[in-house]
Structure 1
Amino acid sequence: MRKISVVLVAAMLLSAGNVFANDATTVDPSKSLSAQISKMLSDNAFTQNEVELTGQVRFTLNNAHQIVVLSVETENPVLEEFVKQKLNYKEVALEAYKEGKIYTIPVRVVG
């Protein structure tokens, strides 16, 4: 009985060591990408008539770390053109990403 408890404690210590050995400082690339896109879209000149514009942006990243906008789903053509102009072929800083993966993010621009 004593050997079983010793083996159980040893197993728990080994598994706890594996949990703490994981790198907890890795940054989720999609969150970093979302923050960079938010910064790119923050400089806008929308008027008070365009109080809150929303849409969905589908894009991918090419091998040069550039955003390639595939589509902007919105009812406002001004917002669509604005997003394409601000994001298309703009370089982003990401260490680990999968080229060709399609991302979809919601966009909300407040005037």
Structure 2
Amino acid sequence: MLLETAAGLLDGDSPEEAIRREAAEETGHTVGTAEHVFDSYMSPGSVTERLHFFAAPYGQATATTGGGGIAAEGEDITTVELPFDQALTMIRDGAILDAKTIMLLQWAALDGPFRPA
């Protein structure tokens, strides 16, 4: 299994609409106000896909379905929640390898909700 943040293709939607859709499909949450945090090209020399990164609040009250992705699309997703410090440790020890997830965790540590006071 690969640990990664909710993500997906735009499929004709705006980036914010797409992340709301993907969060609902993959995690079962209707997220709150989505904050655009940055855009990135993962490998601009060979891939022209531009990624749009968002952060949004969620909680017990935002759970609307069981999540898990769309079986017809071959998605088999288990939602995992980790303490923030544990997630950072998992980057260091190689348990989290997905670049999108690493970048969002680093944003959360440097500029986001877990930045030093």
Q: The TM-score by the shorter chain falls in which range?
A: under 0.3
| TM, length-normalised to structure 1 | 0.24
Higher helix share: 1
Structure showing greater radius of gyration is 1
Higher strand share: 1
